[in-house]
Chains A and B, each alone.
Chain A
Amino acid sequence: MSEAVTLRCNVNGSDVDREVDARLLLVEFVRDVLGLKATRVGCHTGDCGACTLLLDGAVVKSCLVLALSAEERAVVTIEGSNNLAEIQAAFVAENGFQCGYCTTGMILTAAELLRKSPHPSDMEIRHALVGNLCRCTGYDAIIAAIHRAAERRGAVGYAVGSRQ
């Protein structure tokens, strides 16, 4: 039987060094140990995407990751993302959320899409969102928000990358 193990990683730009239980999921680590509640749990099976965060700069479903697998890696949650303003504003303008539970995962996923494809088509957006469930909106408003963000970013010149 193992007891607590040390986990060292970087979360939202700060080095973190904590004793954690090996059973802890990455989503539990950020929520319950670090108090970063914007990453949410909707299924525990990797199906819904509410727990989406960035691990080494790429979005992952953090309910599928053991916290200890983040050793010496960089974790970024929406609380630590500093280049999402256009996307967030677009989600508000287009009502790209209702209850908001899936929204942080949607926004981080949208940001990754726009990094790779600054002017995505409807189908590209739908494809990128296929791992994120929304039960409220029917997705149209989310897709409209991502289009709007792409247009705004195009207008101001595309800013690269999230902090990693």
Chain B
Amino acid sequence: MDTDREAAGSWVGRSVPRLDGGRFVAGEVRYAADLIPPDAFHVALVRSPHARARILAVETEEARGMEGVVAVVDGVQAESLAVPMPMVLPFLGPGAGRPILGRALAARLVSFAGQPVAAVVAESPHAADAAARRVIVRYEALETVQDTEAALAEGAPVVHEGWTSNLVATDHVRAGEAAAVLRGAPHVVRGELHLRPSTAAPMEPLCYIGDWETRTGRLTLTGTFQNPHASRWLVATALGLRESDLRVVAPAMGGTFGYKMSGHTEEALVGLLSRLLGRPVAYVESRRDCFLGHCREQHHRFEIAADGEGRILAFRDTFVADVGTIGPGNGWTMPLVAATVFPTLYDVPNVEVSCTLVATNKAPWQPVRGYGKEVANLVMERAVDLLAAELRLDPAELRARNLLRRADLPRRLPSGLNLDSGDYPEALTRLKALFGYDAWRARQAAAADGRRIGIGIGCELTPEGGARPGAFPSGFETASIRMSPTGDVQVAVGVTSPGSGNETGIAQLVGGVLGLTPAAIRVVQGDTDAVPVGTGNASSRAILYGGAAAHLAAVDLRAKLAACAANLLQAPADEITFAEGRACAPSGASVTLAALALGAHTHPFTVADGVELPLEATRSYRARNIRVTPDANGRIATYSSFPYSMHAVAVELDPGTGRVTVLDVAAVHDCGVMINPALVTGQLKGAIVMGLGAALWEELTQDGEGRLVSDRFKTYLLPRATDLPTIRVDHMATPSPFHPLGMKGAGESGLGGALAAATNAVADALGALSPGLTTVPATPPRLMALLARGAAR
């Protein structure tokens, strides 16, 4: 392990600027919509205004006759052209095998408002849009279920055809005897939390381009594919293609945050239409439709108990998530992940978590950064804060008393996940210093009459490196490295970049092994014809898994190069070192890698004597700390790594308006060994701001019929520059004992902690009214209603 780290050493921990930065800032990077061929047809979707309805007729005559219109395809016709996309993750519910919504166009029944029922294809997006408005769909509106209570009620309409109920899945996580302890503990606090729906909202919406080549019978899909290989599998299945006849290309992505994971039915639709029409077909999602991709809506009821010394004795959470309809994507599984994270970073002997996932007539959930973990952290942190109030203890002090100690790790969570390493109390101590916790408390106490300053802490545990059995692919990533005759190094990896800059980190790892600069390494991602099978981007795995695989491949290549150098320099191979583009012998003699590469290719019997050519290597990294054998509680471990972070937020609550101003934000973060600290900081700050948005402003709203109301950035409120103070962050780096390079993964961390800290800060500002804060986000109208209730008392 130590030699591994040493080998990667020279560029690890250095904040190398983004390799292709110049192209980004010049606007030369190309995103999917920039690559739509000039001769492409464009798709506009006709969407249902009803949340549940029978389709009686789709009248397309007028639309077909309109200028520029090439075809109008309805759900019935689409059924004859493709089978449903399979699910990314296998269905876990009690009635496994029941059908799900895997089709791009509804044929007989629509199950959510906004569901596509017909596709208009035209020569321009304008013509397609105009014609889509003229497709007349006759519906018989049916009774809908818009919340989980209604969905679970006796005799409720069943959302999915062929199902017998709306129950999607349940899980129960237990350790100890939570129920009994909660009955007898000296201090017990109960609370609840409603999370309203929110969404990832990347700046670039979805875009898919299908290009069917009739001559070869091959389909190329170019688009916003966060998981190209998974999409290749889903689309090839839907269209009845051999996977090798489908190439999925993911160019630069304008942010994903989970939203562009595979399973959007439009991925298959553009392929279907291109094959039908013999021309490239492009679908570009509108911002409005991007807001259909909701998630996080759930209701938690929790209890937490402590003894007189402030030791947490038990925690219980029962929650119900409204996961909408189930599509091919995996968004609906996020509450199942949430359940596995409790009791986060705390030493709690008795835990019980029960979750129920319920289908309703809403769009499918789309994945979002945090992937359920942010919700677990929010709930746990609210519970701890309510307990602190009950115990009249400072919330930071209560946390300090209950955080797991460094020596407690590794530690198995009740869910079976195995915490790796860290120093949680030290991180909290550093956070208090960085934030100026005591000074903030003093400022709060000194606040003039009527001013409500609130201070909140959020401790976050973010399991990463997800490797759920049954998922595709799962638990491993692969890299292929090759050196050309001129010594050019290319590394192809199955992980994609969502725009995070992970290609720079991968180049740093490879460059370090080979004694080259990161700029000398070409990283290839996002093309199923060019890279080994891989997951793409998910669960902070790009460097954690993809970087580790690239590192292994680079070590193998270095061994070949060392053997070649040994031949040339007449020195033992294990004494060859690599630096500054040269292979060096102990004698001081050296050769450039370019000369070595040319020599190996042109003089295989001498320079490459004893070396298996070509100068290539493919290696896979398989995660450790994953356990597929159930433990005594029947639990497995589906996450390998456990970065964590401690957050503090100060807010001011305006008692006259309920408006919240964020005054200060600080975080201390530990993702183990960092390859590029500046890029990690960038990820962390972005996640923190998403957490603040989710806590205070971001909420998707629907009318009573399930139709989207918050359909633009003036009604779904993303944080803007003036909403935020400068965010202060610091890093610790406790290596993971389960990773060859000590890494834990970065990218998701920060959202849940900031969400929790900001929510706790608002609650703190509410003072005695804080138990009333039961809905997230804490919008001004909700806070005003609480303040008014307080005033009326």
Contact = CB atoms under 8 A, between A and B. Distances in A.
A and B touch in the complex (CB under 8 A): yes
Contact of B721 (A39, A45, A97, A129): A129
Contacts of A114: none
A38 B34 CA distance: 9
Given A95-B678, A126-B721, A137-B682, A102 B21 contact: no
A42 B26 contact: no
A100 to B, nearest CB: 4
A38 B686 contact: no
B731 to A, nearest CB: 15
B117 to A, nearest CB: 23
Most buried by A among B21, B500, B726: B21
Given A48-B203, A92-B22, A122-B726, A98 B689 contact: no
Nearest to B683: A98
Contacts of B682: 95, 98, 136-137, 141
B204 interface: yes
Interface string A89-117: 10111010111111110010000000000
Given A88-B22, A138-B727, A99 B28 contact: no
Report the interface size class on chain A. Answer: 35 or more
A56 interface: no
A42 B25 contact: no
Interface in B193-243: 201-205
A45 B203 contact: no
B498 interface: yes
Nearest to B687: A138
A150 to B, nearest CB: 16
A19 interface: no
Given A40-B254, A100-B499, A134 B203 contact: yes
Contacts of A129: 720-722
A130 B720 contact: yes
B499 A136 contact: yes
Interface string B713-734: 1100011111010110000000
B384 interface: no
Contacts of A92: 17-18, 21-22, 24-25
A137 B682 CA distance: 6
B24 A100 contact: yes
A78 interface: yes
Interface string B267-307: 00000000000000000001100000000000000000000
A47 B712 contact: yes
Given A48-B713, A92-B17, A139 B25 contact: no
A145 B662 CA distance: 23
B686 A135 contact: yes
A130 B721 contact: yes
Contact of A95 (B29, B498, B679, B688): B679
Given A126-B722, A127-B722, A134-B203, A97 B24 contact: yes
A97 B714 contact: no
Contacts of B501: 95, 98
Contacts of A70: none
B139 interface: no
A45 B712 contact: yes
A3 to B, nearest CB: 10
14 contacts: A21-B126, A43-B712, A45-B713, A47-B712, A88-B25, A88-B26, A95-B501, A97-B24, A99-B253, A129-B722, A136-B686, A137-B689, A138-B688, A138-B689
Given A99-B253, A135-B201, 20 more contacts: A24-B126, A37-B30, A38-B26, A41-B33, A45-B712, A48-B203, A77-B27, A88-B22, A92-B17, A92-B18, A99-B202, A101-B202, A101-B254, A103-B27, A135-B255, A136-B499, A137-B685, A138-B689, A139-B689, A139-B724
Interface of B: 17-18, 21-22, 24-31, 33-34, 124, 126, 201-205, 252-255, 257, 286-287, 498-501, 678-679, 682-683, 685-686, 688-690, 712-714, 718-722, 724, 726-727
